[in-house]
Chains A and B, each alone.
Chain A
């Protein structure tokens, strides 16, 4: 993004709207801050007082229990007060404009808005139009980005692979509609991954995807050859409706990750998935339950990353 409102003076995080526009120093800072929060969950008292007296407002214009819960846990571990607002079922359905909704919430004196919206750019729009003291975290916007997911995925990789600058990484699935893919691609590029592959049928591949700094593959077998990391994407069930793929069954046969195909990757390959998984659609249980899969560690790392982002946003 040209006009980067995410970064303030001193290369500090001002909002987290997209990975696109961040830099290596900031991502490393988020990772090292997350490191310091990793052990909290093992303590008796799973709290630090960093955000005591602060209010985090989970502003979900689109339903998502899982993402909202991880943000809530992260905020509570930082001792913040948390308000959950499910706007999808309240004011928006009464025709209130997004800006009016947000202005009302500003009156509640929140410090951080965690925003999920079905419109690409909605968190950016909110960040641009609110009091500069309030920080915005994008928790997924339309087909644009899901930056904390991109951060937690790359953070997970950093725990298992030494150096990003020597990795081959493949992202498999619905690249076209995936906000997770866009955040992952942006993060991997900033971290210096020399070879990022995206694997999908042409119907699920976005236009000019090469310009995001990736190599597109339509064939899963070629795409997985010799990779260190496989990042799977969830296939949204509604994709069948618009003739993007014929059936889940055929998708599983052509792009589903099974043990046989995974053998084409490196021996120590790791497999990530943002969840929830569709077993038998994009991933076979033999892979999902194997030693290669890091799906559960991702969840723990996700909380640490979200804590780190909130803590850094509240830094003076």
Chain B
């Protein structure tokens, strides 16, 4: 099937096209992108009116939890990949906190091959920095990288022993590997369930002091300075963290960072009434923190936005707040929420799109070709005019735990992988 998109807004950060134009996809390849393309309409050609629609090439989600392999009772990889496809997310960077933990090359290869078999969205796994994520012994980074790992992560765990952390930095730096780190000092974050502030105080929930994030980032920055390691900080949540990363970037430290869509769209006020759907990690912070994160997006301190997709069985949410499991199933609301953030904060679409495409691709060192002509492009079509509300029955992901329980403007209606239409909204 060939497709001609007429008058569609194309946001391609690779070729820097940000305009309403026509796009012709013939024989799975981008044949042309220009105004007023006309072709003969045949049985094999679909002409799609681009009104209210946006075309975005290869969307890269830099932090999601697929809970696979292992954790199969929670979901199966296939379901989550389908959910991602429906959500227009075409590359998923997943973390090694699986069962077994991704600390063996064969596990990495296996995960990649399963996702390839599905001929679906691409899985770009991060391997464990330390064996079993225990923070004691380095994993075989070189072999893991050769197996297909795009970087190294401790997922939600931190390395408590600074001398081991230093070795991880030194070793990663030796081979120019990127370390994906969560800033979450364990002694300060253990047994905490919300941001430490007035809301947690009123509800009597044990709060996490922001210091847990701040001092860990300071430590990472100093280690990166010393070792010249490339680091990516995942899911920043505090105002102060933005300042630290900004300063480090100005000092040419090899640092990038992302923010969870949760922390851009929700605040600690959303945990009121013990709303366990908003029990998240990192915890939702104050309005001031959210404002600072938005500012960080605008001034390019924050490189990427991640879905922070985390499917949790509803049983694990049907508990008193502190006993419930953190996480929100976010694939299917992600792109709508990204546009919501852009609209509400006057961030140009062309800028915000970079944070979910070319920037995360660069962080995982992937070649990002966008809508380059004569390539089998992977892209997503988003329709701004569809108004919908997330609900459990329509959710494809096995995680029915959606924190964002409000009306959404716009929905992904088509996803193309390597030039083939793999998802279409009915």
Contacts and interface: CB of A to CB of B under 8 A. Distances in A.
Given A2-B272, A121-B320, A125-B320, A208 B201 contact: yes
A147 to B, nearest CB: 12
A211 interface: yes
B15 to A, nearest CB: 47
Contacts of B113: none
Given A1-B272, A208-B201, A99 B318 contact: yes
A166 interface: no
B282 to A, nearest CB: 16
Q: Size class of B's contact patch?
A: 20 to 34
Given A1-B272, A2-B272, A98-B320, A121 B315 contact: no
A238 to B, nearest CB: 14
B203 A120 contact: yes
B196 interface: yes
A209 interface: yes
Contact of A121 (B196, B207, B318, B321): B321
B197 A119 contact: no
A76 interface: no
A207 B204 contact: no
Nearest to A21: B273
A202 B319 CA distance: 31
A197 interface: no
Interface string B192-204: 0000111011111
A60 interface: no
Interface residues of A, number: 28
Nearest to A123: B320
Interface in A186-235: 206-209, 211-212
B273 A3 contact: yes
Q: Which of B198, B201, B207, B315 has the most CB of A within 10 A?
A: B201
A143 B321 CA distance: 12
Contact of B322 (A2, A119, A208): A119
A206 B206 CA distance: 10
A145 B196 CA distance: 17
B275 to A, nearest CB: 9
Contacts of A144: 203-205
Contacts of A120: 203-205, 274, 320-322
Contact of A212 (B202, B319, B323): B202
22 contacts: A1-B273, A2-B272, A2-B273, A99-B318, A119-B323, A120-B204, A120-B205, A120-B320, A121-B321, A121-B322, A125-B321, A141-B204, A142-B320, A142-B322, A143-B206, A179-B204, A207-B200, A207-B207, A208-B197, A211-B201, A212-B201, A212-B202
Interface of A: 1-3, 20, 97-99, 117, 119-122, 124-125, 129, 141-145, 179, 182, 206-209, 211-212
Q: Which 4 A-B pairs have the closest CB atoms?
A: A144-B204, A121-B274, A120-B204, A143-B204
Interface of B: 196-198, 200-207, 209, 272-274, 315, 318-323
